[in-house]
């Protein structure tokens, strides 16, 4: 299985266009050792030719330009994307599909009923695409049953329901329903290798720990270092938990949860611009390194 990190940042990317936090100012001025990041998305393939795109970032054009495999050039209009999976209806995970409106056929889009509802009502991007080639919606069930994607031979997918938050424009914001946010187990049937992908984690329930523990690689929520990170920077009084993200450093946080896991390769994704781990010389980054936890970056390639 081939995994390519299209984008590793949280909403707004890094540096964020209007932000002068320590990190954003530092990377612009070159006073910290840090790498800019676009908004979070990955692509997965069993053969290196047909790719399932997970989430469509607003930065999709740059991400595809930076990954030549996405444009195989077999015809006048072509793409290596065989299907799109959307794990939640957040703006940073769904807006980019509008940039892909020139596709020659309806996109095969896989998402839950809850996400489909948000993307046809509160944020109706699917409705807009009906004025172009449209969307073939394939419902992802939240009962942890497995499914396949016809053009992604060799891969089996399982949606894992997560406790997180629906987008601000969702009718069930702060009243989470199954399918608002999912993680995905991806298994390569030829090698038996397993990836678990969950860019948004508000609560790590027992069944989620089981999926993480039994994977060969996990790409999980790395949004913030502390729950009050945004307020510490004077940006927002909202805590990470209110936005559906579990911090890394507290007791019961992501680092604590992953500390007892021996099997998987542990990688953080969806990293907010305020997170001190973006500074590669920070004590927080060293703590991750010492714990055997990696920080993803745009263009990172993983092979299982």
**pTM tops 0.85, yes or no:** yes
Instruction: Report yes or no on 263 lying in a domain.
Output: yes
Say how many domains are in the chain: 1
Instruction: Report yes or no on 259 lying in a domain.
Output: yes
CATH of the domain at 261: 3.60.15.10
Domain ranges, residue 34: 2-14+23-297
Instruction: Report yes or no on 40 lying in a domain.
Output: yes
Instruction: Report yes or no on 302 lying in a domain.
Output: no
Instruction: Report yes or no on 72 lying in a domain.
Output: yes
Whether the bond between 15 and the residue before it is cis, its omega within 30 degrees of 0, is yes
In tens digits, the chain (304 residues) has pLDDT values of: 999 999 999 999 999 999 999 999 999 999 999 999 999 999 999 999 999 999 999 999 999 999 999 999 999 999 999 999 999 999 999 999 999 999 999 999 999 999 999 999 999 999 999 999 999 999 999 999 999 999 999 999 999 999 888 899 998 887 889 999 999 999 999 999 999 999 999 889 999 999 999 999 999 999 999 977 877 777 777 766 666 688 999 999 999 999 989 999 999 999 999 999 999 999 999 999 999 999 999 999 999 9
Angle at 161 between CA 155 and CA 162, to 5 degrees: 120
Instruction: Report yes or no on 226 lying in a domain.
Output: yes
Instruction: Report yes or no on 245 lying in a domain.
Output: yes
Instruction: Report yes or no on 190 lying in a domain.
Output: yes
């Amino acid at each position: 299985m081939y995994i390519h990190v299209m984008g590793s940042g949280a909403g707004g990317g890094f540096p964020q266009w209007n932000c002068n936090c320590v990190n954003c100012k530092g990377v612009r001025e070159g006073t910290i050792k840090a790498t800019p990041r676009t908004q979070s998305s990955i692509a997965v393939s069993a053969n290196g030719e047909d790719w399932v795109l997970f989430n469509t970032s607003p930065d999709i054009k740059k991400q595809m330009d930076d990954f030549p495999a996405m444009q195989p050039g077999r015809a006048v209009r072509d793409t290596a994307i065989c299907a799109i999976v959307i794990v939640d209806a957040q703006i940073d995970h769904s807006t980019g599909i509008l940039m892909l409106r020139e596709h020659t056929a309806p996109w095969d889009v896989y998402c839950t009923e809850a996400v489909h509802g948000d993307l046809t009502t509160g944020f109706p991007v699917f409705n807009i695409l009906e004025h172009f080639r449209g969307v073939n919606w394939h419902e992802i069930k939240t009962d942890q049953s497995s499914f396949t994607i016809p053009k992604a031979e060799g891969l089996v997918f399982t949606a894992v329901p997560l406790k997180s938050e629906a987008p601000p424009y969702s009718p069930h914001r702060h009243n989470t329903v199954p399918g608002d946010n999912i993680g995905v187990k991806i298994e390569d049937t030829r090698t038996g290798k397993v990836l678990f992908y969950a860019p948004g984690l508000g609560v790590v329930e027992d069944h989620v720990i089981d999926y993480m523990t039994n994977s060969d690689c996990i790409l999980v929520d790395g949004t913030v270092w502390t729950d009050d990170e945004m307020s510490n920077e004077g940006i927002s009084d909202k805590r990470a938990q209110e936005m559906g993200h579990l911090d890394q450093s507290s007791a019961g946080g992501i680092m604590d949860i992953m500390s007892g896991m021996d099997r998987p390769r542990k990688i953080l994704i969806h990293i907010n611009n305020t997170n001190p781990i973006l500074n590669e010389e920070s004590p927080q980054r060293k703590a991750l390194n010492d714990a055997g936890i990696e920080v993803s970056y745009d263009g990172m390639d993983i092979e299982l």
